[in-house]
């Protein structure tokens, strides 16, 4: 299709680049020349189609965004959980807690024994260095040298025994894994302290007797002893007694 | 998708005419009407992909009708969009199976649209064919013509962005050349040319 008018003229008209006179002259031609009119319509359709393409891209991007939001509703809408889903979540949390607690309980039950609780509470008793008598000094030396059997021998050989002698002997018995003998020695200190104004190793005896009971598997008596300490915040071993877990004592009671 | 605000029908029409508000208005259309339009296509032998394509075409056509001042507001936007979707979908079904789908619904759908809107939908069929030809142009031509006819940038703004063109006159010459190339491809497409001529005759 050819006519006498270059494309530039039609495009100038479509793009509104003509003067008013040029525009009026061109519109007159459009009415008179069917071929020109058809070319003008073609060009106009091309321009509109290009614009439509841009608009379609724009709408397409928003549509894509919209469809994506439909596929992931949490992004676009506030999720209000139903009562059922809250219940389910709580049940899951509860189940996890139950498993965790049960797991912890099983672990503690399997790993807790008399000796483990005793060891966790035990602190090695250090003797004071200011004792006078030669025989006493010998016992102290043996104790400090961790020669506990010799301590017991020396203790048995000693005619006049004081609270401190019983205490060192009891400590040695604990080291020698003889808790019942240690208990007897500690109880002897208690008796001596009960019958004299000259009380010695009172707080120490309370605490180590409790440990001796634990080591011997006499958990109820150990608990009584620990409760006695825990009821007195001024007690020398108050904090140490607190550190001994009541839960672990319950396990020991179950096991014993 | 974040919908910035809601619109009345009048507000929506005004927003679609403002470039800065257009995206918010389109998002509102999707949030309000996509489900309804999708249901229509799904209930009439269409797939979700079919629905997405038809709804995209519907919204583009609606915006163009609004921009050209052909939306008179005799019916609600909801009814108007529904009528466009029905028209486009039934046209598509007719293409797929021309005999079975010449049904009364199509005629009903046409009734809701006034003549201007219905003619625009017919014209859009040519737009799609022209767009396919447009894609065959070179990158520079496509970029330039999009800047001119979609983004409405001035020649000086385009010279700033497309530094390959030294000045506005060089750019203007390039635009003529690109449009001439596109027109030539349109003239060479016999189906397009014949249908377009017939449509012009029918339009009067």
pLDDT digits (tens, 9 = 90+) for B160-191: 888 888 888 999 999 999 999 999 999 899 98
Q: Which residues of B touch A42 (CB under 8 A)?
A: 183, 186-187, 196
Report yes or no on A97 lying in a domain. Answer: no
Mean pLDDT of chain B: 87
Asked if residue A105 belongs to a domain, the reply is: no
Write out residues 56-75 of A within 8 Å (CB-CB) of B. 56, 58-60, 62-63, 65-69
Residue B57 with chain A: CB contacts under 8 Å: 56
Give first-to-last CA distance, chain A, whole Å.
Answer: 111
**Concatenated DSSP letters for B89-146?**
HHHHHHHHSTTTT--HHHHHHHHHS-HHHHHHHHHHHHHHHHHHHHTTS-HHHHHHHH
Q: Does A197 touch chain B (CB under 8 A)?
A: no
Instruction: Indicate which of A33, A55, A70, A72 best probes the interface with B, i.e. most B CBs within 10 Å of its own CB.
Output: A55
Q: What six digits make up the tokens of A76?
A: 């676009």
How many other CB atoms sit within 10 Å of the CB of residue B3? 15
Q: What is the predicted pLDDT for the residue at A3?
A: 57
> Chains A, B: CB contacts under 8 A, how many?
104
Mean pLDDT comparison of A153-167, A225-239, B32-46, highest-scoring range? B32-46
Q: Are residues A159 and A234 in the same domain?
A: yes
Residue A92, domain member (yes or no): no
Does A4 have pLDDT greater than 80?
Answer: no
Picking from A8, A46, A54, the nearest residue to B146 by CB comes out as A54
**Predicted pLDDT of residue B13:** 95
- A-chain CB neighbours of B148 within 8 Å are 15
Q: Are residues A245 and A144 in the same domain?
A: yes
> Is residue A121 domain-shared with residue A201, that is, in the same domain?
yes
For residue A165, being part of any structural domain is answered with yes
The helix (run of H) or strand (run of E) holding residue B194 is: helix B190-203
- What's the pLDDT band for B193 if we cut at 50, 70, 90? confident
Q: Which residues are CB-contacts of B117 (< 8 A; sequence separation ≥ 6)? A: B65, B70, B71, B80, B84
Structure confidence at residue A76 (pLDDT): 45
Q: Are residues A122 and A11 in the same domain?
A: no
Tell me whether residue A83 is in a domain.
no
Nearest residue in chain B measured CA to CA from A1: B187
What A109-117 contacts at long range (C-beta under 8 Å, 24+ apart), as own/partner pairs, is: A109/A251, A109/A254, A109/A255, A112/A248, A112/A251, A112/A252, A112/A255, A113/A252, A113/A255, A114/A214, A114/A215, A114/A216, A114/A217, A114/A252, A114/A256, A115/A215, A117/A214, A117/A244, A117/A245, A117/A248, A117/A249, A117/A252
Residue B19 pLDDT grade (very low, low, confident, very high; cuts 50, 70, 90): confident
pLDDT tier, B103 (very low <50, low <70, confident <90, very high otherwise): very low
Residues spanned by the domain of A142: 114-255
Residue A249 and residue A137 in one domain: yes
Does one domain contain both A132 and A248? yes
Q: Which residues of B31-58 are buried (b: 16+ CB within 10 A; e: fewer)?
A: bbbbeebbebbeebebeeebbbbbbbbb
What pLDDT is stored for residue B181 in this prediction?
94
* Cβ contact B60–A11 (<8 Å): no
> Which member of B27, B150, B179 has the closest CB to residue A43?
B179
Secondary structure, 3-state, A169-232: HHHHHHHCCCHHHHHHHHHHHHHHHHCCCCCCCHHHHHHHHHHHHHHHCCHHHHHHHHHHHHCC
| C-alpha–C-alpha distance, residues B136 and A17, integer Å | 27
Query: Which of B27, B150, B156 has the most A C-beta neighbours within 10 Å, making it the best mutation to test the interface with A?
Result: B150
Q: At what angle do helices A34-71 and B115-134 cross, to 10 degrees?
A: 90
Could you tell me if B30 lies within 8 Å of chain A, comparing CB atoms? Answer: yes
Indicate if A220 and A137 belong to the same structural domain.
yes
A140 and A64 inside one domain: no
The residue ranges of every structural domain in chain B are 1-124, 135-204
pLDDT of residue B70: 87
A136 and A236 share a domain? yes
User: Within its chain, how far is the Cα of B173 from the centroid?
Assistant: 28
Both A55 and A148 in one domain: the answer is no
**How far, in Å, CA of A89 to CA of A97, rounded?**
12
The total of other beta-carbon atoms located within 10 Å of residue A75's CB is 11
In a domain, A226, yes or no: yes
Exposure letters A194-216 (e unless 16+ CB within 10 A, then b): eeeeeeebeebbbbbbbbbbbbb
Whole-angstrom distance, CA of residue B157 vs CA of residue B170:
14
H-run or E-run covering B64:
helix B48-67
Of residues B1, B64, B197, nearest to A38 (C-beta): B197
Q: Is the pLDDT of residue A208 over 90?
A: yes
The minimum CA-CA distance between A9 and chain B, rounded to whole Å, is: 10
CB contact, 8 Å: B183 with chain A? yes
Q: What percent of chain A has pLDDT over 70?
A: 89
For the ranges A119-133, A149-163, B15-29, B102-116, the lowest mean pLDDT is seen at: B102-116
How far apart CA A82 and CA A101 sit, in angstroms, is: 28
Residue A244 shares a structural domain with residue A140: yes
Best mutation target among B179, B182, B191 (most A Cβ atoms within 10 Å) is: B179
| A171 plus A235 within the same structural domain | yes
Domain for residue A1, yes or no? no
Determine whether the interchain pair A8/B31 forms a contact, defined as Cβ–Cβ distance below 8 Å: no
Domain total for chain A?
2
pLDDT tops 80 at residue B8? yes
* pLDDT, tens digit (0-9, with 9 covering 90-100), for A120-179: 888 888 776 555 555 566 778 788 888 888 888 888 888 888 888 899 999 999 988 889
B40: contact with A, CB 8 A cutoff: no
pLDDT interval class at A1 (50, 70, 90): very low
Residue of B nearest to A53 (CA): B131
Res. A74: pLDDT tops 60: no
Q: What is the pLDDT of residues A14-63, one digit of tens each?
A: 999 899 999 999 999 999 998 899 889 989 999 999 999 999 999 999 99
Identify the CATH number of the domain in which residue A233 sits. 1.25.40.10
Q: Which residues of B touch A48 (CB under 8 A)?
A: 64, 123, 127
Q: Which of A42, A57, A71 to mutate to test binding with chain B, by most B CBs within 10 Å of its CB?
A: A42
Structural domain contains residue A225: yes
Q: Which two tokens stand for residue A117?
A: 């609780």
């Amino acid at each position: 299709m050819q006519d006498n008018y270059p494309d530039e003229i039609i495009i100038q008209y479509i793009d509104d680049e003509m003067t008013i006179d040029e525009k009026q002259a061109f519109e007159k031609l459009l009415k008179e020349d069917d071929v020109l009119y058809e070319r003008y319509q073609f060009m106009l359709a091309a321009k509109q189609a290009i614009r439509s393409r841009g608009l379609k891209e724009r709408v397409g991007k928003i549509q894509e965004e919209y469809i994506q939001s439909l596929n992931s509703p949490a992004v676009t809408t506030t999720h209000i959980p139903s009562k059922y889903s809250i219940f389910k979540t709580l049940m899951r949390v509860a189940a996890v807690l139950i498993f965790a607690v049960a797991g912890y309980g099983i672990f503690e039950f399997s790993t807790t024994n008399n000796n483990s609780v005793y060891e966790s509470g035990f602190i090695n008793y250090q003797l004071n260095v200011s004792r006078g008598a030669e025989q006493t000094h010998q016992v102290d030396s043996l104790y400090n040298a961790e020669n506990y059997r010799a301590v017991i021998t020396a203790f048995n050989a000693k005619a006049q025994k004081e609270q401190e002698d019983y205490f060192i002997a009891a400590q040695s018995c604990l080291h020698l894994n003889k808790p019942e003998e240690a208990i007897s020695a500690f109880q002897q200190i208690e008796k001596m302290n009960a019958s004299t104004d000259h009380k010695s190793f009172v707080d120490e005896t309370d605490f180590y007797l409790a440990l001796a009971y634990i080591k011997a598997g006499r958990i109820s008596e150990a608990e009584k002893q620990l409760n006695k300490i825990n009821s007195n915040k001024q007690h020398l071993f108050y904090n140490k007694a607190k550190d001994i877990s009541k839960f672990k004592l319950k396990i020991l009671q179950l096991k014993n | 998708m974040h919908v910035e605000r809601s619109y009345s029908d009048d507000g929506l029409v005004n927003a679609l005419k403002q470039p800065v508000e257009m995206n918010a208005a389109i998002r509102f259309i999707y949030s309000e009407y996509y489900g309804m339009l999708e249901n229509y296509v799904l209930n009439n032998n269409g797939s979700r992909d079919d629905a997405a394509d038809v709804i995209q075409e519907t919204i583009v056509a609606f915006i163009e009708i609004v921009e050209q001042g052909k939306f008179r507001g005799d019916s609600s936007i909801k009814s108007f969009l529904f009528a466009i979707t029905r028209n486009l979908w039934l046209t598509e079904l007719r293409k797929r199976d021309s005999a079975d789908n010449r049904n009364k619904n199509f005629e009903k759908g046409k009734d809701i649209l006034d003549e201007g809107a219905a003619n625009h939908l017919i014209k859009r069929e040519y737009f799609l064919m022209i767009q396919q030809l447009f894609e065959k142009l070179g990158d520079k031509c496509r970029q330039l013509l999009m800047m001119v006819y979609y983004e409405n940038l001035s020649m000086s703004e385009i010279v700033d962005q497309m530094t390959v063109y030294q000045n506005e006159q060089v750019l203007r010459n390039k635009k003529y050349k690109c449009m001439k190339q596109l027109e030539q491809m349109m003239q060479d497409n016999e189906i397009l040319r014949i249908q377009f001529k017939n449509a012009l005759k029918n339009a009067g």
